[in-house]
Structure 1
Amino acid sequence: MEGGERSVCIERFADLAAQVVKSPAKLGPVRLVAVDGPSGAGKTMFAAGLTRVLRANGAATVEIHTDDLLDGWDDMVGFWPRFDRDVLEKLRKGQPGEYRRYDWHAARFAERIRVPVPEVLVVEGVTSARAVIRPELTLSVFITAPRHLRLARGLERDGAHLEPHLVRWFAEEEGHFAADRTADHVDLLVDGAPDVPLDPGEQYLRRTAAGGRSGER
């Protein structure tokens, strides 16, 4: 997102969880929440906070990370038909799904993970709020953070030896987000590098732009 005044607001996961539960299910009986955004922006922390509050409030919630679905570094976008067939299509029918978890250390798929039919399914990861699933999302979130900070986080998390993979990944996700216009269509834009004091386990920083619904800074 370029230009325009930006406003910020500290909000609570408790309020967001209540909003999700009160909203209608659009994926069959399931309320589908997508937490999207570039690598290293803070998606995992946000999804964990929302999932924890949903469960604490009694909502049967399953959390899936797209990193567990990919067939390695070259599968950022292409995994979706497999995910839709094995998990989403089953849940649409009120049936449990399952997927094979990818083992990044062994570079192969590992055990099968069963996905029961939940009240809320939180899918966290790059491309999770892509255009094809928008009509079935109860809530879509896009997390942002400056590129240099995201790269530093990624190297700290994954190791400096993976920098070439991360740099290539950054370029690919930027291309996807530009073509998909993901950030322009989400319900909630969150600052993954807040410059105001907050409790990251209970709160997040909503960021909006004047004259637009949302976008990436």
Structure 2
Amino acid sequence: MVDPPGLPEPLDELAAEYRALPPSLGPVRLVAVDGHAGSGKTTFAGRLAAALGGAPVVHLDDLATHEEPFGWVGRLRRQVLEPLAAGRTAEYRVYDWTLRRFAGVRRAPAAPVVLVEGVGAGRRALRPALAALVWMELEAKAARARGELRDGPDLAEFWAGWARAEHAHFAGDPSRPYADLRVDGVTGRIVRSTLGEPATRP
């Protein structure tokens, strides 16, 4: 993930806010970081995890596949959400994008705050389990250009297919209107509201 330029603000205050939220999934406060591919989700989630003292981060790229870029809800629920809700460490299988199969296992302990980052992290099926939802504010074309620059020409065909799948996903199940806050995908600055839109979640 390419770090966004600029001087992003410290996240200590936001981390304190998240620690103070009521648990949303058993003993866990589950915080989602969503946005278009290439918008800076992984970078921001890493910074926020550090501000939280090393909070676990579940990357949805580990659960998605070539055949099912957005068909990971069942895997996430069974392997991550259900164990965390019971106060147990989650153990989930990781998809290898080169081998095109699941290989290896990662773990996420039931920490006070657990982050889940990736395209669709704030989707309808997950929102009831979330304590907070962050949206990376970078429009799809700019985010894709950043991702293609990062990954090189060999993955141009993959990006074209991904862009179609992502567009279809957000058209039917948008996350942005339900975000509690938004983060500028270029500068990393926190935006508490955008265009006067309410930040309400069901």
Scaled to the shorter chain, the TM-score interval is 0.7 to 0.9
Q: Which runs of 5+ in 1 are unaligned?
A: 1-9, 195-199
User: Once the two structures are superposed, what CA deviation does each residue of 1:132-154 show, in whole Å capped at 9, x if it has no partner?
Assistant: 12122111011121334322221
User: What is the deviation of 1:18?
Assistant: 0.5
Between the aligned partners of 1:104 and 1:176, the Cα distance in structure 2 is 20
Report if aligned partners of 2:15, 2:48 keep a CA contact under 8 Å in 1.
yes
- Provide the residue aligned with 1:25 in structure 2: 23
Q: Alignment partner for residue 212 of structure 1, among 193, 197, 200?
A: 197
Alignment of 1:59-138 (within 5 A): 61-71=55-65, 73-138=66-131
- Provide the residue aligned with 1:172 in structure 2: 165
Q: Indicate the RMSD between aligned Cα atoms, in angstroms.
A: 2.0
Between the aligned partners of 1:182 and 1:94, the Cα distance in structure 2 is 27
Between the aligned partners of 1:129 and 1:75, the Cα distance in structure 2 is 17
- Provide the residue aligned with 2:4 in structure 1: none
Aligned residues: 193
- Provide the residue aligned with 1:189 in structure 2: 182
Between the aligned partners of 1:97 and 1:178, the Cα distance in structure 2 is 31
**SS of match in other structure, 1:110:** strand
User: What is the deviation of 1:22?
Assistant: 0.5
Identity over aligned pairs, percent:
40
Structure number with higher strand proportion: 1
User: Once the two structures are superposed, what CA deviation does each residue of 1:40-94 show, in whole Å capped at 9, x if it has no partner?
Assistant: 0111111011001001xxxx621111111112x2322211111101111111111
In terms of mean alpha carbon deviation, does 165-174 or 18-27 score higher? 165-174
After TM superposition, the score normalised by the length of structure 1 is 0.82
Between the aligned partners of 1:171 and 1:47, the Cα distance in structure 2 is 25
- Give, as a single letter, the amino acid of the residue that structure 2 aligns with 1:181: P
Between the aligned partners of 1:84 and 1:105, the Cα distance in structure 2 is 25
**SS of match in other structure, 1:101:** strand
- Give, as a single letter, the amino acid of the residue that structure 2 aligns with 1:54: L
After TM superposition, the score normalised by the length of structure 2 is 0.87
User: What is the deviation of 1:205?
Assistant: 3.4
- Give, as a single letter, the amino acid of the residue that structure 2 aligns with 1:131: R
Between the aligned partners of 1:163 and 1:154, the Cα distance in structure 2 is 10
Report if aligned partners of 2:180, 2:192 keep a CA contact under 8 Å in 1.
no
User: What is the deviation of 1:11?
Assistant: 5.3
Between the aligned partners of 1:134 and 1:143, the Cα distance in structure 2 is 17
Report if aligned partners of 1:76, 1:126 keep a CA contact under 8 Å in 2.
no
Q: Which runs of 5+ in 2 are unaligned?
A: 1-7
Bigger Cα Rg: 1
User: What is the deviation of 1:156?
Assistant: 2.5
User: What is the deviation of 1:126?
Assistant: 0.6
Between the aligned partners of 1:112 and 1:134, the Cα distance in structure 2 is 25
User: What is the deviation of 1:34?
Assistant: 0.3
- Provide the residue aligned with 1:197 in structure 2: none
Report if aligned partners of 1:101, 1:112 keep a CA contact under 8 Å in 2.
yes
Between the aligned partners of 1:100 and 1:178, the Cα distance in structure 2 is 29
Q: Alignment partner for residue 44 of structure 1, among 42, 45, 52?
A: 42
